[in-house]
Structures are given as structure tokens and as C-alpha cells.
Structure 1
């Protein structure tokens, strides 16, 4: 499966959105802090990013792991820099 590419902010938002849709998170009304993804060498599955150290996540580790597994299977971190445009044209 070919992964879609997202930048770090988009990946962070997608993981945050999915975590806060977990039933146990909704039921407890907890706000889990999601940090930005970290670039890494591609692992055996072809994923090039990871996330660790979620804030206020005690007791929700299993659900978070499931979310990460799903998002890591769907998306890779975009690594190429956007082409900058010189406003002076030189």
C-alpha cells in the first residue's frame, strides 16, 4: 500500500483527531497532548516517522498505540522542502 504524504502539522492533527474520537477518551473527557511526529529512517513497514511521549495519556496507552499503528500504515511524513520563491526574481 502506498502511503499518503502529510507534513508534520497535518500528521499531528490527524493523530490528535483520532485519539480524541476514542470512546474511552470521550467518556473520560480527557485532553491528551499530542506532540509533533519525529522523522526517522524507514522501518520494516516503510513508515518514516514516529511519535512518543503523549501528555496526560496514562490509562489510554492501548488506544493510542492502535491509533498510531493505523495512522503510520496510512501516512508518511513529507520530507522534501517546499520550493521557496524569491520575490526579487534573481
Structure 2
């Protein structure tokens, strides 16, 4: 399966959205802090990013891992560098 590509902010938002839709998290009313994705060399599945150090996530490791597994299968982190807008490239 070919992965879609998202920038770091959009990828962070997608993981956040999916985590906060989980029944266990909604039921507890907890707000988990989702870190920015970190670029890495592609793993054996081809995914080029990871996330670590979720905040306020004690006891929800399995739930978060499930979300990460599905999002990592669908998306890669964009590696495009934004242009500065400077026409002289200095």
C-alpha cells in the first residue's frame, strides 16, 4: 500500500484526533499531549517517522500504540523543505 504524505503538523493533528476518539480516553476524560513526529530512516515497512514521549498518557500505552500502528501504515512524514520565498536564495 502506498502511503499518503502529511507535514508534521497535520500528522500530529491526525494522531491527536484518533487518540481522542478512543472510547477509553473519552470515558476517562483525559487529554493526552501528542508530540510532533520525528523523521527517521524508513523502517522495514517503509514508514519514515516515529512519535515518542506522549504527555499525560499513563495507562493508555496500548491504546496509543494501536493508533500509531494504523497511522504509520497510512502516512509518511513529508520531507519537502519549505522554500524561503527569497528569489535570490541567500
2-structure distance, mates of 1:10, 1:82:
15
**Structure 2 residues not aligned, in runs of 5+:** none
Q: CA deviation at 1:80?
A: 1.2
2-structure distance, mates of 1:85, 1:12:
25
- What is the aligned partner in structure 1 of residue 6 from structure 2? 6
- What is the aligned partner in structure 1 of residue 74 from structure 2? 74
Q: Provide TM-score, normalisation by structure 1.
A: 0.93
CA deviation profile, 1:41-60 (whole Å, cap 9, x unmatched): 00000000000110010111
- What is the aligned partner in structure 2 of residue 44 from structure 1? 44
Q: CA deviation at 1:83?
A: 3.3
- What is the aligned partner in structure 2 of residue 31 from structure 1? 31
Q: CA deviation at 1:34?
A: 0.4
DSSP 3-state at the match of 1:76: strand
Q: Is residue 2:58 matched to residue 1:58?
A: yes
Aligned residues: 88
The structure 1 segments of at least 4 consecutive aligned residues displaced by more than 4 Å after TM superposition are none
